[in-house]
Amino acid sequence: MTPFTPLSSLFGGALIGISALTLMAFNGQIAGISGILGSAIDQHKDRAWRWAFLAGIIVSPALVVTFAPDLRPAWPDVSFLLMAISALLIGAGTALGLGCTSGHGVCGLSRLSLRSLVATLVFMMSAGLTVFITRHIL
């Protein structure tokens, strides 16, 4: 179990909220990562900002690990195959849910979307059930 870190969690959540607000205010777009990735891969005319957004998601943790090694998260003790299967299941879930946790949980809930509320509740219940099964049953 990871230690509870309220200040860094608050700071990280604030950064996510600010980035979602900034993207909506200046670009009129929702910061749903699965939608941004899908549209970046497709042939859309406004792909540059999408690739820049995705690059920031990848580069930012690399910078933190490089310049602030004390903030480096613990690497999970699971196999690469299990992580790959998990990634495929997450991708399938975002396709079924018509969006991801960032799109529904951060942006959709802040817009008072009922569909996003239902999707976020399903995400959270699924996560809780998965943790319970993997920690207590398997």
pLDDT digits (tens, 9 = 90+) for 48-86: 889 998 999 889 888 888 888 777 777 777 788 988 998
**Domain count along the chain:** 1
pLDDT band at 2 (very low <50, low <70, confident <90, very high): low
Position 25 in a domain: yes
Position 39 in a domain: yes
Question: Is the per-residue pLDDT at 1 higher than 70?
Answer: no
Segments forming the whole domain that contains residue 73: 6-137
Position 1 in a domain: no
Position 48 in a domain: yes
Question: Is the per-residue pLDDT at 91 higher than 90?
Answer: no
Question: Is the per-residue pLDDT at 109 higher than 70?
Answer: yes
H helices within the chain, ranges in order?
6-27, 33-41, 47-67, 80-96, 101, 109-110, 114-132
Position 106 in a domain: yes
Position 56 in a domain: yes
If one compares 1 and 46, the residue with the highest pLDDT of the two is 46
pTM confidence score: 0.72
Q: How far apart are CA 11 and CA 18, in angstroms?
A: 10
pLDDT digits (tens, 9 = 90+) for 115-125: 999 989 998 99
The four Cα atoms 38, 44, 47, 50 give a dihedral, to 10 degrees, of: -30
Distances (CA, A) of 117 to 64, 97, 111, 132: 32, 12, 10, 22
